[in-house]
């Protein structure tokens, strides 16, 4: 029995689960600051909107990221007004790009394979 069929089903199933999680569950992810954000704001005072109003902390040095105007900035797709659709589609696109890049790397590594000795290829004297 070939091992390619179970591997194909395993990869397809994993991709399907990742796409469902990225497309649906990404919309219910917490909007609260994570541990790094919380630690970076330690020592500062903030208002109700989360804007730093005083104190001393690492977060006072933060700046806008260089890709803030890119089509996929801020976990969404620019031009799609529905935030749920925008977040879901950006998650799905991220999964597909990651799967394609990872698959391409594995394909290249598999094609190259380990170096074989003449004895293994049947061209050596024996």
Write out pLDDT tens, residues 67-89: 888 888 888 899 999 999 999 99
- Asked if 1 and 7 count as a contact pair (C-beta separation under 8 A), the reply is no
Residue 117 scores a pLDDT above 80 = no
Among 28, 33, 53, residue whose Cα is nearest residue 43: 53
Q: Which residue has the higher pLDDT, 71 or 122?
A: 71
Q: Tell me, what's the pLDDT at 6?
A: 85
Specify which residues 52 forms β-bridges with: 46
Give the Å distances, CA to CA, from 88 to 4, 76, 81: 31, 8, 12
């Amino acid at each position: 029995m070939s091992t390619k069929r179970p591997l194909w089903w395993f990869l397809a199933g994993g991709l399907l689960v990742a796409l469902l999680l990225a497309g649906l569950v990404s919309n219910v992810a917490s909007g609260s600051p994570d541990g790094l954000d919380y630690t970076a704001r330690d020592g500062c005072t903030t208002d109700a909107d989360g804007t730093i109003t005083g104190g001393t902390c690492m977060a006072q040095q933060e700046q806008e990221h260089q890709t803030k105007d890119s089509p996929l900035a801020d976990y969404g797709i620019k031009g799609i007004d529905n935030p749920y659709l925008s977040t879901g589609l950006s998650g799905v696109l991220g999964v597909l790009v990651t799967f394609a890049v990872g698959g391409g790397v594995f394909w290249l590594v598999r094609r190259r394979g380990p170096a074989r000795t003449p004895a293994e290829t049947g061209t050596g004297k024996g």
